Structure 1
Amino acid sequence: MNKLELSEATLITPSGRIDRERHGWRAKCLQRLVRMDLPVPRSFAICCNTVRLIAQGRSIGCEVLQDILSGSGLVSVRPSAVMPEWGGPGTVLNVGINDALHKTLVDRIGQANADAVYLSFVQSYAIHIARLDPDMFTQDGPDALAQALRSYHDEMDAPFPQDPAEQLSQVLRSMARAWDGPTARLLRQAKGAPADAPLGLVVQEMALALGPGLCGSGSIQFIDPVTGTPRVTGRFRGQHHGRAIGEGAETLYLTKDDRGPALEDTAPDLFATLCEFGAACRKRLREEMQIEFVVTGGQISVIDAVRVARGSRAGVRIAVSLARDGIIPHDEALMRVEPRALADLLHHQVDPRAPRDQIARGIDASPGAATGNLVFSATAAQAANARGDACILVRRETGPEDIRGMHASVAVLTERGGTTSHAAVIARGLGLPCIVGANGIVIDARNRTLRAGDRVLKEGDVITIDGSSGEVLAGSAVLLPPALDDAFTQLMDWAAQAGGLKVRANADTPEDAKTARRFQAQGIGLCRTEHMFFDADRLPAMREMIFADTPEDRRLSLDRILPMQRKDFSSLFEIMAGLPVTIRLFDPPLHEFLPHEREGMRELAESLDLPLSDVIRRVEALTEFNPMLGMRGVRLGITVPEIYDMQARAIFEATVDASRKGDPVVPEIMIPLVSAMREVELVKTRIDAVAAAVRNERRVDFTYRLGVMVETPRAALRAGDIAAHSAFLSFGTNDLTQMTYGLSRDDAGRFMGTYVGQGVYAEDPFHVLDEDGVGELILTGVQRARRQSPGITISVCGEHGGNPESIAFCHDAGVDYVSCSPFRVPVARLAAAQSAIRSRKTRESH
């Protein structure tokens, strides 16, 4: 067999050529620790290419192995992938021990301790390197070492290898091949690593954690991994050397508390030294690190350091703290925080340290967590809210009639739906935790029960919804409160300074607008006026309008709604205090406002004083085979123009009223579902007429901006024509994705997981904007609109407006602003700032 001289086994020194891409993260981290003059045992880095050749069967030169073993003769082998989260084969300790070294150790650390070290390696080598039956190597007791050596001999027909170089060679070979195995490939792919990701190895001289004096091993970190607040945590395991446990073994906590003896008390100087090491690592490595250490006779050896694992809350606080202390610049602090992590700070979260009793899982449609009693209807939710009881609304799927129940609930769970289904969109707007598409549950609304596997829950039973993970939990869970603290505020201030796309909020109610202001949204990019019509005071008038036979009768019904709409818009204008407010005109099909069950139709007939047969006929007449492609949006505005006339008048009268009270208001009126320029012309003519009438009646001048919501592929392709009559275009990517793909956004969740899993789509296109298809339409629309009207304002107001990857695309596409649910505004602001920083760095590099 060919020999491979391990010239790549590089001794890790301050000036050694150690590269993360060639040797892995652990080797590079150890070099940084060495440069800091920390007491790191002698360590060697074996490069990724050499490891790959070892896996292919190449052998290793003995002289290099002997050089590695020339110190104490006892070494460990650890994986060193390019990224720490990719993992790797398990660490192998005590490589190099044999009968001769065992005798030496007996003199140094005693018979029992030496036996424990030797036994630990024999068992590990037999199971993981020689691949022998683990059940044969569970020995314990005074004769355990002799039994293990005998078992190895019996199974292998050869004595346990005594040549340290052979041991090390076999360990390196086994770890290299384990990394290349199919199971390991799948595991690291699940962690985001490429299937052919390289692996380096680190061989390090072992510091003994057994023997006389203070000996042991431990780890220490200096922040709370959940909250990010300064706190020393960790444990010191006295007389513990890997799996080898010596006489007098005990576990000490590091700091003084009520749990038991602490290292801070028993060895204050050693504890102080560890704290100095931690402060040095934070400053020099520019990160909060967990230090792995060994104590031998009172002397510390630092054997490793890893970035502290942390939750979202801790990640924000750590990044801000490092920047405030001048260790990293503000831009780097912004880039270190994953935008989605901010969603965890805005809501209650299930404490990751607490137990979970999961009963079902669905799509994590709206983040946060809440506990409440099960209810199965909007009416039951309102009744529970009136009693002061927290409730969770459970529906097969929600519709507009459920909005009042959602307002009364603390969370929402649906059996059907996807990330842009009705429940998901409304819940995000309200800031409610929401899980949709929970296919593992069966809802029986009639009997008011929910089946999840073998469990049957009744109305009133307590569950917890974790909208951040998609988990449905039985009973109450321990919740962490929102973390809108000074660190969050500081990060948002830095994001504002970084610039980037403007971010507005989708807001339909005064409460939404106040939330948008709290999170510093730069206006309202989408106000969906139809949600206002479902209020109990307005729904009867809306139904009267639907049943009216003449335009005059329709106007009479709408006149009852006019003052309510005017009040709605006045409130929004006043709360936004001069910031832009974009109001989308009525969009949904009329059948959504009518009952579809016989009992509901009978009640409606009574309220309208009509025969039940007339009500049934009208409901059937308005029913459409595909209502999302039917009589809705601008089509309804042209065929039943009285609705848009009423809304335009309410907007203009509210504009006059709000401008008198505060900052001047320039409303932005948006026409939904446009596909042809003529549609815009027809609506514009009527709205201009309403504006002129209000100016004459109020004797006040005002201006407004008319724009179009681009939701159809044709509108994107004809954006140049449409832009000639529009002050702005706003791409409604929810419907645009739905129509481009021919997918129902309410039903695609049933099979989307399968499609993504089998690579049909890289991501759910309702969650992450499809740049190749929908994105191409947006780019085409932007180019054609700007060619016709260079100064036109262009935005994205679908749910993609709150998605970080999609915001990066919008930045590159030249979009002026994005608009998203109020509770996604901080996420979008951070993502926009990161896009600006990346763009700035790209320009500087050129």
Structure 2
Amino acid sequence: MTKWVYTFGDGAAEGRAGDRDLLGGKGANLAEMCRLGLPVPPGFTITTEACNAYYSAARSYPEALAGQVGEALTHLEQLTGRRLGDPSRLLLVSVRSGARASMPGMMDTVLNLGLNDATVEALATESGDARFAYDSYRRFIQMYSDVVLGVDHEVFEEILEDEKANRGAELDTELTAEDWKAIIGLYKAKVEEESGAPFPQDPEQQLWGAIGAVFSSWMNARAITYRRLHDIPEDWGTAVNVQAMVFGNMGETSATGVAFTRNPSTGERALYGEFLVNAQGEDVVAGIRTPQNITEVARIDAGSDKPSLEKIMPEAFASFVAISQKLEKHYRDMQDLEFTIERGKLWMLQARSGKRTAKAALRIAVDMASEGLISQEEAVARIDPGSLDQLLHPTIDPKAKRDVIAVGLPASPGAATGEIAFSSHEAEDMRAIGKRVILVRIETSPEDIHGMHAAEGILTTRGGMTSHAAVVARGMGKPCVSGAGTLRVDYRAGTLTVMGRTFRKGDVITVDGGTGQVLNGAVPMQQPELSGDFASVMKWADGIRRMKVRTNAETPADARTARSFGAEGIGLCRTEHMFFEGERIIAMREMILSDTEAGRRAALAKLLPMQRSDFVELFEIMAGLPVTIRLLDPPLHEFLPKSDEEIDEVATVMNLSPSALRRRTEALHEFNPMLGHRGCRLAVSYPEIAEMQARAIFEAAVEAGRATGRPVVPEVMVPLVGLKKELDFIKARIDAVAADVMKEKGETIGYLTGTMIELPRAAVRAHVIAETAEFFSFGTNDLTQTTFGISRDDASVFLETYRQKGIIEQDPFVTLDKEGVGEFVRMAAQKGRATRPDIKLGICGEHGGDPASIHFCEDVGLDYVSCSPFRVPIARLAAAQAAIRKAG
């Protein structure tokens, strides 16, 4: 028979800390504290498996559960010498949720269960405090009715406020036992009115109602949202913890509180917490009274005139300090503790690893390693790589007031303030005169690259987490809020409107790419600090990881930023991003729109020195580190002139009429350009493009090598190869140019030629392509698009619906789809190595900066990952954690 229920109490427990998957975090830690001999109210835990069985059976309990709960309740009654529903030996219990991952406030709790019209009188007699007893009963009615019966708690709050006003009372504490009795009568009448049945008096009925409510709360809207935001699987389920009640509201010698063994904001090694005298736990959480500091030091620092727990309950405080130290040492991590003091006696209600800021996490990890509590490997493994985003960008001061005008998707972390610009040209012009700019667009396109570069931050009303704006902003390290659908942008009127408010060009707004908020006006910022504990953890991580970490960069600023973050080369230089500014875009359009090879070569001759200069600077910044340069990839239509002004400008340069140029532009139109004339297909059709770029690369390699004294070994990447003959054709041109440059310069140039694996056919035929390719770089953005047959820019419309309906767990453009896209990566790696054992393998799609995807790359054995500059530290840490996990 399946065991659904585990007991704990009186120094013994059927579970332990390692059973968190089965008992949930709360249940496992209650059991562990019992085993440690700490003062824990006894109880029992219904497993997460029971929760899953409950849902599998259409919200019906497993057959044996009732009997096991009955046996556990009898055991609890024997330990306490009390009995549920027995006025002569009254036992009251709490019923709380407890998933394996902490989900604070997301699921439901019921306290004081077992009270009814008869037992409340017994509680009054036993406690000697009728006011306490009837206050506890009204709390129970309100909480149980809300959680179990579906009567909104606001209904009760309205009754309470009206009754206080009738009695001239401002605070709950001013109400007498008789007042509470009257209010209880009103509460019960309201319950019957709202639910159609009297408030349940049978404690056993109450218990099963609460158990069902906790199970049901696993699927409430807020819990579902929390799980989605924190990647918690639905099938984990929640446990239910039934525990004997202890009371922090039994007078001035009772209290309840929450504390951390170290400061969760800074990581300082000092007890940090708050408590309330004569209160229950929900009073601390609800904030209806101002809590007091636990320690005298904290009280003095806060300038509070309310006494600390250390001062008013010194014995209980001393016990709590000893227990907190014991638990931190036992778990070897900072603990989040809940406690109640009942008439001077301390009871521990919860211990769990405490949530903390990234700054605190780094300090705690480094300090604990220094203290010998954990190893350096454990310190590295404990830091959430994604949390480092908090440290790598300016962020809004937590004390700042926020006038939020809209909320979109937190597409790229950090925060920025600037004046609104509605076009990339506006952004550039405003930046040129020293203004800080937020580029506001309905959506961005590759032509906006110069405006995005000029802007401090980007805001779009359309698009998802993997839209063009999001991807490019992350690559640039700029804050971005995308998909802020409540905003309306009118380019013609030059306005941004939302909820009756209108903003115009030049108005100041702030975007918070960490939360997705758009705020009115300027907001105080905090600058990142990357030394001290951060540097220590990064050094330890670098000593552990196997994979190299490169960056995706094509501007000197990005390359320098990435080097400062520890990048070990460039894994992707997207040359198309170099052609959108100033004279370059005109020359590029001239090349595309020429209908003869001679015309194209003339335009390319203008671009050659610009490309060479770009590459020289990148090679010098990387000083001997590998640099992978991708030949021109996107469809030509992205470079074409669109406005009449742009067409006139190019027509003048080419000595053509605007009408003739417009006809040439229309002839280049494609119905599905992302699957059209792009990538290696351009180089096959127009080999002169690849020849120009190759010459720029090799001439720059010679120049940079002479300047730095460090030989440059460029890696020339041919994009979108699906056929070996495509790569053979283009490689022949690259080799010919390399030979010419070496002859002209009198130097030997070492270089590699490879391809980006971004088509399923390339993965399937990788063993053949590897006969020519000296490296593979997996372009997982396009590989995901071509494997799924969906557009990254359009998929946000339905992928979130897929997630909500359980069809997919993760957006495949954010975290690599291991079963599908990942299988192509694994296949290509294996086949490539079979043909060429020393082939270099890397990943350069957005997944190169995603921790979960990096773990997959380690499993496959890739040589490096490449990501945007501001994700380099995240990738370094994630690569170390992947190596730790793989090692066992």
Give the TM-score normalised by structure 1.
0.88
1:832: how far off? 1.8
Report the equivalent of 2:171. Answer: none
Bigger drift between 808-817 and 73-82 goes to: 73-82
1:495: how far off? 1.8
Pairing 1:67–2:78 present: yes
1:705: how far off? 0.8
- How far, CA to CA, are the matches of 1:122 and 1:739 in structure 2? 57
CA contact (8 A) 2:474 2:868 kept: yes
1:101: how far off? 4.1
- How far, CA to CA, are the matches of 1:819 and 1:158 in structure 2? 63
1:130: how far off? 8.1
1:431: how far off? 0.2
**SS in structure 2 of the partner of residue 790 of structure 1:** coil
Pairing 1:266–2:276 present: no
CA contact (8 A) 1:510 1:571 kept: yes
1:377: how far off? 0.9
Pairing 1:93–2:112 present: yes
1:412-439 alpha-carbon deviations (Å, 9 max, x no partner):
1223334444322321121011233333
- How far, CA to CA, are the matches of 1:610 and 1:663 in structure 2? 47
Percent identical pairs in the alignment equals: 41
Report the equivalent of 1:102. Answer: 124
Report the equivalent of 2:168. Answer: none
Report the equivalent of 2:387. Answer: 341
CA contact (8 A) 2:826 2:860 kept: yes
Over 3 Å counting, the alpha-carbon distance change for 1:41 and 1:739 in structure 2 is closer
Which residues of 2 match residues 738-817 of structure 1 at below 5 A?
Answer: 738-817=785-864
Over 3 Å counting, the alpha-carbon distance change for 1:85 and 1:55 in structure 2 is farther
* Match 2:241 to one of 197, 201, 205: 201
Report the equivalent of 2:751. Answer: 704
CA contact (8 A) 1:313 1:483 kept: no
Report the equivalent of 1:844. Answer: none
Which residues of 2 match residues 493-532 of structure 1 at below 5 A?
Answer: 493-532=539-578
CA contact (8 A) 2:257 2:281 kept: no
CA contact (8 A) 2:11 2:37 kept: no
- How far, CA to CA, are the matches of 1:423 and 1:526 in structure 2? 18
- How far, CA to CA, are the matches of 1:705 and 1:244 in structure 2? 66
- Residue identity opposite 1:405 in structure 2: G
CA contact (8 A) 2:45 2:239 kept: no
Report the equivalent of 2:360. Answer: 314
CA contact (8 A) 1:207 1:301 kept: no
CA contact (8 A) 1:416 1:749 kept: no
Pairing 1:434–2:474 present: no
- How far, CA to CA, are the matches of 1:759 and 1:232 in structure 2? 42
- How far, CA to CA, are the matches of 1:443 and 1:158 in structure 2? 52
Report the equivalent of 2:86. Answer: none
**SS in structure 2 of the partner of residue 340 of structure 1:** helix
**SS in structure 2 of the partner of residue 588 of structure 1:** coil
Bigger drift between 406-415 and 619-628 goes to: 619-628
- How far, CA to CA, are the matches of 1:541 and 1:56 in structure 2? 76
Report the equivalent of 2:96. Answer: 79
Report the equivalent of 1:13. Answer: 11
Report the equivalent of 2:54. Answer: none
- Residue identity opposite 2:609 in structure 1: P
Over 3 Å counting, the alpha-carbon distance change for 1:208 and 1:365 in structure 2 is closer
- How far, CA to CA, are the matches of 2:725 and 2:399 in structure 1? 59
**SS in structure 2 of the partner of residue 534 of structure 1:** coil
- How far, CA to CA, are the matches of 1:28 and 1:35 in structure 2? 11
* Match 1:489 to one of 505, 518, 535: 535
1:193-229 alpha-carbon deviations (Å, 9 max, x no partner):
53682523232352554346x4432222244434434
1:719-766 alpha-carbon deviations (Å, 9 max, x no partner):
222211121111212122222333222222233323333444443222
Report the equivalent of 2:375. Answer: 329
**SS in structure 2 of the partner of residue 801 of structure 1:** helix
Over 3 Å counting, the alpha-carbon distance change for 1:604 and 1:785 in structure 2 is same
1:706: how far off? 0.8
Report the equivalent of 1:565. Answer: 611
1:670: how far off? 0.8
Which residues of 2 match residues 652-667 of structure 1 at below 5 A?
Answer: 652-661=698-707, 662-667=709-714
* Match 1:181 to one of 185, 194, 216: 216
CA contact (8 A) 2:369 2:379 kept: yes
- Residue identity opposite 2:555 in structure 1: T
Pairing 1:471–2:517 present: yes
**SS in structure 2 of the partner of residue 181 of structure 1:** helix
- How far, CA to CA, are the matches of 1:691 and 1:355 in structure 2? 59
How many residues are treated as equivalent by the alignment?
A: 826
1:21: how far off? 4.9
1:820: how far off? 1.4
1:821: how far off? 1.1
- How far, CA to CA, are the matches of 2:587 and 2:197 in structure 1? 93
1:598-643 alpha-carbon deviations (Å, 9 max, x no partner):
2221233334443222322222222222222232222222222222
1:138-195 alpha-carbon deviations (Å, 9 max, x no partner):
4663312443566689899999999xxx64x344322212124377566544433536
1:526: how far off? 0.7
- How far, CA to CA, are the matches of 2:748 and 2:5 in structure 1? 83
CA contact (8 A) 1:55 1:180 kept: no
- How far, CA to CA, are the matches of 2:625 and 2:383 in structure 1? 28
- How far, CA to CA, are the matches of 2:641 and 2:879 in structure 1? 43
Over 3 Å counting, the alpha-carbon distance change for 1:56 and 1:475 in structure 2 is farther
- Residue identity opposite 1:676 in structure 2: L
Which residues of 2 match residues 672-687 of structure 1 at below 5 A?
Answer: 672-687=719-734
Pairing 1:218–2:262 present: no
Pairing 1:44–2:43 present: yes
* Match 1:688 to one of 735, 739, 745: 735
Report the equivalent of 2:457. Answer: 411
- Residue identity opposite 2:470 in structure 1: A
- How far, CA to CA, are the matches of 1:694 and 1:130 in structure 2? 81
Over 3 Å counting, the alpha-carbon distance change for 1:537 and 1:60 in structure 2 is same
Report the equivalent of 2:468. Answer: 422
Pairing 1:384–2:425 present: no
1:90: how far off? 1.2
**SS in structure 2 of the partner of residue 60 of structure 1:** helix
**SS in structure 1 of the partner of residue 351 of structure 2:** strand
- Residue identity opposite 1:389 in structure 2: K
Unmatched 5+ stretches in structure 2 = 52-60, 83-88, 165-174
Bigger drift between 6-15 and 716-725 goes to: 6-15
**SS in structure 2 of the partner of residue 85 of structure 1:** coil
- How far, CA to CA, are the matches of 2:22 and 2:597 in structure 1? 76
Over 3 Å counting, the alpha-carbon distance change for 1:261 and 1:580 in structure 2 is same
Pairing 1:371–2:417 present: yes
Task: Calculate the aligned-residue CA RMSD, in Å.
Answer: 3.6
- How far, CA to CA, are the matches of 2:507 and 2:270 in structure 1? 38
Unmatched 5+ stretches in structure 1 = 842-846
